[in-house]
Amino acid sequence: MSLVPSLPLVGGCQCGACRYAVSAAPLTLYVCHCTECQRQSGSAFGMSMPVPRAGFAITRGTPATWRRVAASGRAVDCAACPTCGTRLAHFPTRNDAVVNVKAGTLDDTTWLRPVGHLWTRSAQSWVTIPTNVLAYAGQPSDFDALYTAWAASTARV
């Protein structure tokens, strides 16, 4: 079980020029193994934490933004620090109600426990996908199961 710390959640870039606050509870947390996430993270995967867009605010700096089109054909507006290049968030154009915070940029990452893995067919061969999480070979048709799994994993008993 993963217990989300008290809100707001805060984070920012490597150099400190850009900071943000999340004042709404995360909707889910997942790992993406697509080649786009591998490239943007410079690693084996990216980690995304969708939150309600109204609950996300830049508190310092002005991120550079640009639009990219994913392999799925969906457009995503990306935000990164213009000084150090740290990717902070993605704003999917298909759903203007959420922002996908790049969870590794949170100040406190000790509580993060992803409930799903996307694009596992692109995962590096040495990455082991846990058996107790949702796993999708590609892009799921919707995120309902990921939202449900997150709610169950963060429920306070």
pLDDT at 1: 54
pLDDT at position 155: 78
Question: Which tens digit of pLDDT belongs to each residue from 5-19?
Answer: 899 999 999 999 999
Q: Are 41 and 70 in contact (CB under 8 A)?
A: no
9-152 CATH fold: glutathione-dependent formaldehyde- activating enzyme (gfa) (3.90.1590)
Sign of the alpha-carbon torsion through 71, 128, 42, 147: positive
Mean pLDDT, residues 97-117 taken together: 97
User: Domain coordinates of the chain in residue numbers?
Assistant: 9-152
* Rounded Cα distance, 138 and 118, in Å: 6
Query: Model-level pTM?
Result: 0.92
**pLDDT at 156 (0 to 100):** 63
pLDDT, residue 36, reads: 87
| Residue 24, C-beta contacts closer than 8 angstroms, at least 6 positions apart | 7, 51, 52, 54, 55, 56
Give the residue, 83 or 1, on which the prediction is more confident. 83
Q: Given pLDDT bands bounded at 50, 70 and 90, which one contains residue 119?
A: very high
Measured between alpha carbons, how far is 128 from 86 in angstroms, rounded to an integer? Answer: 26
Q: How many residues does the chain have?
A: 157
Q: Which strand ranges, in their side-by-side order, compose the sheet holding 19-22?
A: 9-12, 19-22, 56-60
Residue 49: Cβ-neighbour burial (10 angstroms; 0-12, 13-18, 19+): buried
Please check whether residue 90 is in contact with residue 77, taking contact to mean a CB–CB distance below 8 angstroms: yes
Q: Please write the tens of the pLDDT for every residue from 79-103.
A: 999 999 999 999 999 899 999 999 9
